[in-house]
Amino acid sequence: MRENICEATLSVLRILWSHRVNSINLGLKIGDVWIFFVTIL
């Protein structure tokens, strides 16, 4: 389960890196979601 989540996170990070417009704001939002998922798991 965690491996799939890690792979999904890496793919999202690649997308953000290739589209760096507002990447900081998006990164902060994704960081909040990531913390949310880690808290649940």
Tell me the per-residue pLDDT of 1-41, one tens digit each, with 9 for 90 and over. Answer: 678 988 998 898 888 777 665 667 777 888 888 888 888 87
Domain boundaries along the sequence of the chain: 2-40
CB contact at 8 A, 23 and 17: yes
Q: Which pLDDT score is estimated for 20? A: 64
Distances (CA, A) of 13 to 16, 20, 23, 30, 35: 5, 10, 10, 9, 15
Q: Which pLDDT score is estimated for 39? A: 86
Q: Which pLDDT score is estimated for 37? A: 84
**Residue 26 CB contacts under 8 Å (≥ 6 apart), including other chains:** 16
What's the rounded Cα separation, in Å, for the pair 32 and 41?
A: 14
